[in-house]
Structure 1
Amino acid sequence: MKGTVSLYRYLFRTIILIIFGGVLLGVSIGFIIDLQGKLFWLNTIGITVGGVIIGSIITILNFKRFIMPMKDIINGVNQMAAGDLSSKINVEKVGELKPIAIAMNEMANQWKNLIHKITQVSNQVTDQSNELSAITEQNYQSIDEITKVVHEVAFGSEKQVMKITDTYQSVNDISEGIGQITGSIQSISEMTKSTNDKAVDGNQVVQAGMEQMKSLEEKVTYTSNIVKSFDEKSQEIGKIITMITDISQQTNLLSLNASIEAARAGEHGRGFAVVAGEVRKLAEQSAKASEDISKLIQEIQDEAGQAVTAIEEGKASFDQSYSLVGGTGKTFNEIVNKIQEVSHEFQDVSATMQQMHAGFKDMIDLAKEVVEVSDSSSAKSQQIAALTEEQNASTEEISASASQLNALAFDLQEMIQKFKV
């Protein structure tokens, strides 16, 4: 087939290249391994013959795998070029060229879809051109009615100008009122923000006071523990003083007995009597000192008990005050939260009022533009009447264009019919 290569021609071209490559390879190897004489030529001929045999086998296989299936692909392409899009390339017969066959079939499908789409579009163009012709006929009748309506619009626009002018003044007054309200809301919002800042400062002061009171509570508790410990130790000292008093009384009694025994002993017991007297004096002094210390310890215990009672009462009052301050802190937190909520609400209201104010400004500008447009609408109505005449001429041109479009659609359909889908 025209455009394809025969097996013998393809094999001949390949063998020529293989012989040239085999000789070149054999000579190169001979020089590399230093072959001489007959071995050199046998090596060259052997490599060349082996290359020819292997190359021939590979060439025949490649011819069957690639060149022979190319005939079917070329046939399919020629049919597509002739306008026959209904034929398909058998992808099972083309072997390794299957991806190409699939792509060609897909391209044919795409062309078929395109032809169908063009056919639909041309039909739609024909229908639309017919509808356009009908619309132009209706447009002739509508233009006369439009001319009458234009005159009525000119008369009605004068009344509309008066009403819009009144509306413009009312909207302007409302806009000024909203501007004043917006200013008041912004002032209130700033006052709310200032109040919130002060409430936050008060809350911080309360929190600092609570921290100081907590530190003071720890110190009061520590002092109470020290006073209690002091009271307990003073009681232990009282017990020791009582023991000392008992010992001094016993010592006094023993010294008295010793004096009596010394008197009985006469001259020999005089020295012992002196010692017994000194011991009795020391016992009496110890008893008196113990009594004084006991009184002092009792006074200290009384004062320590009063101090413990006062500290406990003060701690109870402190706990109550701390609880009240904590409640005040919670109240401040609630106040701050409420003020922040109110501030957010005022901000939202302020933003809304600003939007309304901007909207009313836009309405004022729009109303002003409408007044200006309405003022000029009467004059423009005359221009519209003139434009209706131009519209008649344009309608005639549209009708002619619709006829040309219909003819082009007919020509396109004739061209599409040449394709077989």
Structure 2
Amino acid sequence: MNIPFLGDLKLRGRITLYVALLSALSILSVTSLGLIFTRRTLSKQIHATLAVEAEGLKNLVERTLAEREASVRSWAEDSILRGALLFDTYDKSDAVLAGLAKRHPAISGFVLFDEQGRVVSASSEQVRKAFQGKEREVREMAWYRAAREGRFSANSLSTEKDPIFGQRVLPLAAPVLSPISNARLGVLLAAYNWDQVGEVVRSAVQRAQERGQDSFGLEVKTADGTLLFDSRPADAAPMQRPVSEVAINGSDVQDVGDGWHFVAKVDAREAYAPMTRAALAAVALLGLFVTLAIASAWWLARGITRPITALNEVVTHVVQEGDLSRNVEVSSRDEVGELAQAFARMMENLRDMTLSLQQGTSALSGAVTELSEAAEVQERNLARQASAIQETQVTAQEIRQTSQMAADRSQAVLEVAARAEQVGNAGESTLSASITGLHELHEKVGRLATTIISLGERTQQIGSIAQTVKDLADQSNMLALNAAIEAVRSGEHGKGFGVVAREIRALADQSIDSTDRVRELLDDIGQSIQSTVVMTQKGQQQMQEGLAQIRASGESLRELTSIVRDNAGAARQIVVAVNQQNAGISQIFTAVTDLSSLMDETMQSLQSTTRATRTLREASEGMATVARTYRV
């Protein structure tokens, strides 16, 4: 293995270094694995111990609270306390509460309240006076409301010393019920001394200190994280890297501590102190073992390199002096001795080889000279052939480009002819449709002229009828005039008939006027109809002439379409011929290209042969030089 910064070391130094490194790495690996395994085992033990301490604290506090709650309920059922609330015998209840306080030192005090929250009895006069006149505050206390509901509450656990009891207390209150009607008579309060938890956990703290864990602590917290108890002193330094385990108070045993978190923790430095001491001891042993490994490696390297040094002297003399006659003298019988014997045999073989080499170099030099001259002649001939093929390839490339351009142009002509053929066919179809439409339009104009002529005849008939009506009106007018004359002749008897005759004459005049206006309108209509007939006839004639011209244009367009078809066929034939020509030229270009590639490969092979000949000449000269180097 070649390491840059160890390149100047001798074999002895490398063997010493490698053996030391291998030993150190082996010992370090075993030690590291042992430390890792030990740390994992120790970590499991620490967490298991903390979990046991947290679970033990939970069980102790849970059992203590359950016992205290059961005791408060049993004390609330005392007959003397019930009688005191029923019959106002508070002297007896004071004695009972004082006796309970003496028998249970964990309870800081007992207080008996009636239904209105008024203190009626207490275990001491000082406690009674402290609650007097505070009925409203008592009724608003969490423990009092919980007692009225028949349960216990920890919400009133004080974080500081209670001003009444002078200690941190956990109020535990139970209702006092009537033995007859089971009605609530009052509430009994037992102030549990919360500092007693320190006595409960004292043994666990002592066990931790015996293990050397002075930072060990036990904590009690509510579900929202409020600290209720801490076994560590208030002035203790905070832990830098705490290791902790938590036990949660479940609801399998009903008490006020349901949901509380019991935490056991210790500083990681103290917890893993044995591990640190073991690591220091392992480092010391590692240093000792590495020192022993270096000494052993140096002794081993010295024994290995001594015969190699002797062999190196012989080899150096052979290299510097070129003297193959010196013998190898190594007395070692191990692998190095075998190497020396093999080197001696190699020296003998090298003497024989040198003699044979000196004899063969002269013959090899002559053969190499002849081979070089033949290669030079062949290279000149191939160079002329390659030049001619190159010119042929360029010409074929130009012909190929011209053919490709002709193919592209013929393809474009074919596309234009195809488009012209499509346009001619479309124009012919459009012209046929136009002729058909004009025929239909000519027939419709003829029918329109016939209808207009018929309308003119009807107009003339209406004029005749209007003339008849005018004649009748003239006759009515004459009759009305005669009737008026006869009425005048009749005198008084003909006045009424004269009035009728005037009315008929007036109607006849109106009919004559209306007939004249109708006659004028019919004359105008007749003139318009006549003009329309004339214009229709002229339009029909012009349409007939246009139709004839369109027919002539259609014949011309058909002839043009036929010519375009013939041109398109010719263009297709040209495209086919040009494509065939282009394919032939492409084949020619491909053949020339292949020939050029073969010529390039031949030139490369010849150049390789020339280089090999040159190399062989150099090798021959080198062999001659080597052969002259050693003396035999």
Q: Does TM, normalized by the shorter one, top 0.5? A: no
Q: TM-score, normalised by structure 2?
A: 0.32
Q: TM-score, normalised by structure 1?
A: 0.44
Structure with the greater alpha carbon radius of gyration: 2
Larger relative contact order, structure 1 or 2 (CA cutoff 8 Å, min sep 6) = 1
- Structure (1/2) with the larger strand percentage: 2
